[in-house]
């Protein structure tokens, strides 16, 4: 046994009533009431006592009950000195009872002190108290020595078993509290992750839609400043209006995705490339539903890649390829190269960074860079 175990209190969970079943609590109270009843009966059953003697004996019994209750409270609060003082008072009451001829109540109090000390005090303090209480019991008990020795050993074992049982119950209560705290933390973490996912969806939809609108609106502004004809300016305004309409549709789709109502990925890509000139989509492998996060990553990367083509490679042919592998999905967006748009440098430049972060959050990867003809973006995500 480690040294600190001798001075360690039983935990408050062990000394409290939490985790104690209702039948066990009822049994405990029944035992207490029986003991108090026996003590009161012993006080009033002596014929030589007068009325004042019987009242004094009854008051002593009630005092012993109050002191016992206070002992239970101070041990629960881990207050050693008051606990030792109170149990000393109980031992004194037992000695007084023995001296005045109340042998039965005295023996009961000594036994109770011995067992309670082992159950509720640190072992370094409990062993001396238990030794004094059980030694007093042995000295004044009228049974044969072998019966008395067996009773003393049994009570000592009972006190220690009660201590171990209380500690086991306290450990179970602490584990239950830790489990509840872990579940609460897990729920909070899940809520934060869901909020982060919603934030990413809103950011991706708005970044894609607004940046595309910015391209056309800024181009319209430049055309106006350069005195371009009305048709060219109107073409840009109409394109910006279309982007706004598409952004609204994407926002609705994102909200549907958050509710788990995603359209098939192949249909989404087909509809996406239908709005881009010179773009086509190819799907290989066995199509299957993907997790919501992986599906959204593919959709957003495809959108961002096509937006970059419109900004930096106007007129380029675009090949969008979706490959279903056994444990992952690969999206490849490749353009043939083209002329920079009027706003090729517009935007904050965070598109590829955002796509890469999204892929890495899912345990995937994203590679983007020039190839022999134009620019290629390759996304790999588990799915």
Length reported for the chain: 383
| H runs (alpha helix) in 45-144 | 51-76, 80-99, 103-120, 123-140
Instruction: pLDDT band for 235, please (50, 70, 90 cuts).
Output: confident
User: In the structure, what pLDDT confidence band is assigned to residue 347 with cuts at 50, 70 and 90?
Assistant: very low
Contacts of 381 (CB under 8 A, 6+ apart): 294, 297, 298, 328, 329, 359, 362, 363, 364
Which residues, listed in sequence order, are joined to residue 367 by a DSSP beta bridge? 378
Confidence band of 344 (pLDDT split at 50, 70, 90): very low
Instruction: Kindly give, in sequence order, each residue whose CB lies less than 8 Å from that of residue 127, ignoring residues fewer than 6 positions away.
Output: 118
Q: Provide the b/e sequence for 174-204 (b: ≥16 CB within 10 Å).
A: eeeeeeeeeeeeeeeeeeeeeeebeebbeeb
Mean pLDDT over 248-261 rounds to 65
Give residues with Cβ within 8 angstroms of 124, minimum separation 6: 6, 7
- Architecture of the domain made up of 264-383: 2-Layer Sandwich (3.30)
Question: What's the rounded Cα separation, in Å, for the pair 170 and 176?
Answer: 10
- Return d(Cα 212, Cα 207) in angstroms, integer: 8
- DSSP annotation of 325 reads -
pLDDT at 345 (0 to 100): 45
Question: Does the pLDDT value for residue 343 go beyond 60?
Answer: no
Q: What is the mean pLDDT of residues 241-250?
A: 74
- Computed on alpha carbons and rounded to an integer, the radius of gyration of the chain in Å comes to 41
* Calpha distance 199→358 (Å, rounded): 12
Q: Per-residue pLDDT for 133 more than 90?
A: no
DSSP state of 183: H
Delimit the domains of the chain by residue range. Answer: 3-142, 264-383
Nearest to 248 by CA among 276, 217, 214, 209: 209
Residues 280-299 pLDDT 10s: 889 998 888 888 778 888 88
Do residues 328 and 382 touch, judged by C-beta distance below 8 A? yes
For 179, the 3-state DSSP assignment is helix
Strand partners, 379: 331, 366
- pLDDT at residue 86 in the model: 92
Containing 329, the helix (H) or strand (E) segment is strand 328-335
pLDDT in tens, 47-56: 555 566 666 7
User: Torsions phi, psi of 263, nearest 5?
Assistant: -75, 155
Backbone φ/ψ region at 12: left (φ over 0), alpha (ψ -120 to 50), beta: alpha
Which one has a higher pLDDT value, 58 or 2? 58
Question: What are the φ/ψ torsions at residue 229 (nearest 5 degrees)?
Answer: -75, 165
pLDDT at residue 113 greater than cutoff 80: yes
Interval 151-182: pLDDT, tens: 888 888 888 888 888 888 888 888 888 888 88
């Amino acid at each position: 046994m480690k040294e600190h175990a001798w001075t360690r209190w039983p935990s408050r969970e062990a000394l409290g009533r939490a985790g104690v079943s209702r039948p066990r609590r009822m049994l405990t109270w029944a035992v207490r009431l029986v003991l108090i009843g026996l003590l009161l009966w012993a006080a009033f059953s002596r014929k030589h006592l007068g009325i004042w003697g019987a009242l004094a004996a009854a008051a002593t019994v009630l005092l012993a009950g109050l002191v016992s209750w206070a002992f239970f409270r101070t041990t629960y609060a881990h207050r050693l000195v008051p606990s030792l003082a109170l149990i000393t008072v109980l031992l004194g009451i037992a000695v007084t009872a023995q001296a005045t001829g109340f042998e039965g109540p005295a023996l009961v109090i000594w036994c109770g002190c011995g067992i309670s000390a082992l159950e509720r005090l640190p072992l370094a303090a409990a062993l001396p108290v238990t030794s004094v209480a059980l030694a007093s019991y042995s000295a004044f008990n009228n049974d044969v020595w072998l019966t008395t020795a067996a009773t003393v050993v049994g009570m000592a074992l009972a006190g220690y078993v009660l201590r171990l049982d209380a500690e086991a119950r306290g450990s179970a209560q602490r584990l239950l509290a830790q489990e509840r705290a872990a579940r609460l933390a897990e729920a909070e973490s899940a809520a934060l992750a869901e909020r982060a996912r919603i934030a990413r969806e809103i950011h991706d939809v708005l970044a894609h839609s607004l940046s595309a609108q910015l391209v056309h609106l800024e181009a319209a502004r430049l055309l106006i400043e350069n005195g371009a004809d009305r048709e060219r300016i109107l073409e840009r305004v109409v394109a910006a209006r279309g982007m706004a309409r598409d952004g609204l549709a994407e926002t609705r789709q994102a909200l549907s995705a958050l509710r788990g109502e995603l359209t098939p990925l192949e249909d989404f890509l087909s509809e996406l490339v239908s709005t881009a000139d010179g773009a086509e989509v190819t799907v290989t492998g066995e199509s299957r539903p993907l997790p919501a996060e992986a599906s959204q990553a593919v959709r957003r990367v495809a959108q961002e890649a096509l937006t970059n083509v419109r900004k930096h490679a106007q007129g380029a042919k675009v090949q969008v390829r979706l490959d279903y592998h056994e444990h992952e999905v690969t999206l490849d967006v490749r353009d043939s190269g083209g002329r920079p748009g009027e706003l090729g440098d517009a935007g904050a430049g965070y598109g590829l960074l955002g796509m890469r972060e999204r892929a890495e959050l899912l345990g995937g990867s994203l590679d983007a860079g020039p190839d022999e003809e134009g620019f290629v973006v390759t996304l790999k995500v588990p799915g």
